[in-house]
Structures are given as structure tokens and as C-alpha cells.
């Protein structure tokens, strides 16, 4: 049940360091953020240096339907075409071309899995979801014609609004669970651009249900990209791996990465607390916790905590350190969940962790610490309701 680095802009040596410290089990590559020659060299370097590392390639073909689009290096990849309309997905010959060029390119990289091209949809019964199904079926057919290919993961990229409709989700699952394929690579677009993004209870409950049906009930290999700490809930219901990156747009998925920038201020430094299951602001939140003498209740016990023992407001906490700390915390949480044998036991443990987190937030608030909505207990309370509703629905 590993954590994968969600690759993107500004990688430096963070992926290698995360693999060295044992927090990562692999990487999900972003062609938008790397030229083809450099990406191929990166794959070779990782596979040479780290035995057993899993390397996945997200084709990001879904960017082809965004207009206007900020697609970075994608136009340099032979399979990518920009600004495709629905009319460009009608012809079977076009679908064969898109899929064939994508999978053939991936074959040149020597990857552990092939990931199919797809487009994003907002409802399980809208026209774009039908195109996604057609691309998936064509990917299965094309994969079967390749010479000795790695296993295939079918890519699904959906807006979180699709997960509000449980009946449509079940119909969709009836279709895809009948396919003969290794598994799925799934990305859910968050409509809240804040970090951590707010997620509705019904959306999270159905996301857990989607993961459970595919991974636990049907034994598919399921990888969720861009899940961050939220991935702990998905690991509890059977997913093989989840992805998270080194800055906010690589920890949760939105289309802003592929749209012209409107500017903005640099992200504020954050500290990921294993107890709180959240990344809180170093200033004023962690500094406020230190002021009221409660640091022992929120420190995560990583190799990077030492600089926070004094006054966090004066601590040296560069983005690279924050990232490696974050990966270690998420990995420790996932390993904790993996130590339990059954889904029911894993969910019991997640329930316990969330309850402890909510209680710690209450202790800190009573001591006078003030949190912003996204860094307070709001999300944990939604997680707890979602988890318990999911368990009731599936009889766990």
C-alpha cells in the first residue's frame, strides 16, 4: 500500500530523497512538466538507482479538451493533440489513433504499467463519460495487440460532482467491472481550489465506495492520483497506491494547472501533523500551539521535527524539507493502516485516528489556538461522517 510522488514542476531531487528515506514506493510522471528526453532519462535513472520502484506515466490526454490550455511540454509528445472537441471522438479511427500513439509511446519508456489516455467527465451518464468508456475499451483492444506489454491501468478522470449520483455510479461500475484489465488509475477533480480542498460528505462516501468496489470486491489494482492525506481513507478500502506531490496543486487535482495563470501569492509554509491528519500553517497555527505548550500533541516524530522544537516562527522550514516531512507522515499513516488484516479492521483504525484528531483539535481550541477553516477540524468531521455512512451502506 505505497505512496507515490505526484511528479510536476520543480522536482529537483525530492523524488530520489523520498525514495531513499522509504516514504515513497514510486512516482506518477507528468509529461506536461518535463520534456520527453528528460523524462525518459528520469525514468531510466530511477529504475537504475531504486530496485522495485514503480513508475507510472499519466498521459494527461485529458488536457486536449481544455480551451484555452496551458499544456507546457505536452505538445512535444507524439500522442498529444490540443483543443479537441467532441466531434474529434466520433470516428473509431480517431480513437484508435489516440490510444495507439499513447500506448506505443509509453512502451518506449520501459514502464511497470501502461496507463490509458482518457478525457475528463462531470457525470457518469454525460456524453464525455461515454467517450471515456470508448477510449478505455479501445485501450483494452490496443493493449491486447501489443507485443509483451506491461499490465494496463485504465485511466478515469472525473469531476467530483459526478460522485454525487450514487445510482449513476453503480451503473458505471457495472460496466467497468466486467472488463478484463489489470486495474485503474483514477483522478478526481476538486472544485474547491483551497488547500486542503473541502469535500462534500456524499462525494467522499461515494469515492470510498468506488475504490472499495474496484479494489476489494473485484480485485483490481487501483491507484488514485492527487489524494494527499485523504488517501488514508482509500487505502483502508483496498487501493494499491495513492499519489501526492510537493506543492498544493500536486496534492489535489484541479484544472488550474492546465489553465492560464491569474497570478497569486506564494503558498504559506505548512507543517503536516500526523495527529491532526492535516497540514497546518507554521505561522500562526503551529507557532500558536507552541505558545500554549501543546507541541507534544501535534508533532509527528519525523526526522525533520527538530527545528520546530523551539519557536516554529523562527524555524528553517524550506519547501523541500516540508515536502519530505509530509511524505514521511503520509507514508507512516498508510503503513499503520496496512498493518491491519481486514477492511473492517482498517476502517476501525481510521475511525480511531479521526476521533483522536478531532479531540486534539478541541483541546487546542480550548487552549486558545485559532485555526483557519481548511486547517481546522472541518474536514475530519466530514471524513468521520463519510466513513461511517459508507460502512453502514456496505455492511462493514
Return the closest-CA partner of residue 116 out of 131, 99, 104: 99
Is the pLDDT at 28 greater than 80? The verdict is yes
- Give the β-pairing of 3-6 and 241-244: parallel
CA 326 – CA 133 distance, rounded (Å): 35
Q: Are the C-beta atoms of 180 and 236 separated by less than 8 Å?
A: no
Cis preceding linkage at 310, omega within 30: no
Q: How confident is the model at residue 263 (pLDDT cuts 50, 70, 90)?
A: low
Which is nearest to 227 in space by CA: 257, 206, 197, 203?
A: 197
Q: What percent of the chain has pLDDT over 90?
A: 93
Q: How far is CA 6 from CA 11, 24, 147, in A?
A: 10, 10, 29
What φ, ψ does residue 124 adopt, rounded to 5°?
A: -70, -10
At residue 292 the predicted structure's pLDDT band, cuts being 50, 70 and 90, is very high
Confidence grade of residue 264 (pLDDT, cut at 50, 70, 90): low
Number of Cβ within 10 Å of residue 183's Cβ equals 21
Residue spans of beta strands (DSSP E) within 77-201:
114-115, 120-121, 152-159, 183-189
Q: How many C-beta atoms surround the C-beta of residue 254 within 10 A? A: 17
206: nearest Cα among 170, 256, 247, 259: 170
On whether the CB atoms of residues 236 and 343 are closer than 8 A, the answer is: yes
Half-sphere exposure of 218 (CA within 13 A, CB side): 21
pLDDT for 211-235, tens place per residue? Answer: 999 999 999 999 999 999 999 999 9
The residue that leads in pLDDT, 259 or 200, is 200
Q: Domain ranges in the chain? A: 3-258, 270-394
What is the value of pTM for the model shown?
A: 0.97
- Per-residue confidence band for 346, with pLDDT thresholds at 50, 70 and 90: very high
Candidates 3.20.20.70, 3.50.50.60, 3.20.20.300, 3.30.160.20; CATH matching 3-258: 3.20.20.300
Q: What is the pLDDT of residue 266?
A: 81
Residue 6 CA to residue 193 CA, distance in Å, equals 17
pLDDT at 257 over 90: no
Query: Does the pLDDT of residue 255 top 90, yes or no?
Result: no
The average pLDDT across 332-344 equals 97
Amino acid at each position: 500500500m505505497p505512496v507515490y510522488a505526484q511528479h510536476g514542476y520543480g522536482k529537483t531531487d525530492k523524488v530520489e530523497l523520498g525514495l531513499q528515506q522509504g516514504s515513497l514506493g514510486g512516482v506518477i510522471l507528468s509529461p506536461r512538466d518535463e520534456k520527453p528526453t528528460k523524462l525518459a532519462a528520469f525514468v531510466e535513472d530511477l529504475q537504475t538507482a531504486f530496485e522495485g520502484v514503480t513508475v507510472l506515466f499519466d498521459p494527461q490526454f485529458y488536457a486536449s479538451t481544455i480551451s484555452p490550455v496551458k499544456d507546457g511540454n505536452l505538445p512535444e509528445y507524439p500522442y498529444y493533440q490540443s483543443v479537441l472537441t467532441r466531434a474529434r471522438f466520433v470516428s473509431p479511427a480517431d480513437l484508435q489513433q489516440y490510444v495507439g500513439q499513447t500506448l506505443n509511446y509509453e512502451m518506449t519508456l520501459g514502464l511497470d504499467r501502461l496507463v490509458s489516455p482518457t478525457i475528463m467527465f462531470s457525470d457518469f451518464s454525460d456524453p464525455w463519460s461515454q467517450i471515456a468508456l470508448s477510449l478505455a475499451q479501445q485501450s483494452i483492444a490496443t493493449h491486447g495487440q501489443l507485443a509483451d506489454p506491461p499490465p494496463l491501468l485504465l485511466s478515469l478522470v472525473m469531476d467530483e460532482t459526478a460522485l454525487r449520483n450514487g445510482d449513476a455510479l453503480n451503473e458505471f461500475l457495472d460496466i467497468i467491472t466486467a472488463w478484463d484489465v489489470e486495474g485503474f488509475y483514477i483522478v478526481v477533480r476538486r472544485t474547491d481550489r483551497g488547500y486542503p480542498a473541502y469535500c462534500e460528505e456524499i462525494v467522499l462516501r461515494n469515492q470510498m465506495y468506488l475504490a472499495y468496489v474496484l479494489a476489494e470486491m473485484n480485485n483490481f489494482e487501483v491507484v488514485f492520483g492527487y489524494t494527499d492525506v485523504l488517501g488514508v481513507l482509500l487505502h483502508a478500502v483496498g487501493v494499491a497506491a495513492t499519489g501526492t506531490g510537493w506543492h498544493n496543486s500536486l496534492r489535489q487535482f484541479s484544472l488550474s494547472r492546465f489553465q492560464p495563470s491569474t497570478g497569486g501569492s506564494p503558498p504559506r509554509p505548512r507543517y503536516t501533523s500526523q495527529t491532526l491528519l492535516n497540514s497546518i500553517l507554521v505561522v500562526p497555527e503551529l507557532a500558536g500551539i507552541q505558545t500554549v505548550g501543546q507541541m507534544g500533541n501535534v508533532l509527528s516524530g519525523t526526522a525533520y521535527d527538530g527545528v520546530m522544537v523551539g519557536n516554529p516562527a523562527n524555524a528553517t522550514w524550506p519547501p523541500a524539507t516540508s515536502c519530505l516531512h509530509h511524505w514521511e507522515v503520509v507514508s507512516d499513516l498508510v503503513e499503520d493502516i496496512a498493518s491491519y488484516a481486514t477492511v473492517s479492521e482498517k476502517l476501525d483504525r481510521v475511525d480511531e485516528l479521526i476521533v483522536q484528531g478531532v479531540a486534539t483539535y478541541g483541546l487546542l481550541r480550548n487552549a486558545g489556538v485559532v485555526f483557519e477553516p481548511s486547517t481546522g477540524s472541518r474536514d475530519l468531521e466530514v471524513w468521520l461522517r463519510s466513513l461511517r455512512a459508507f460502512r453502514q451502506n456496505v455492511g462493514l
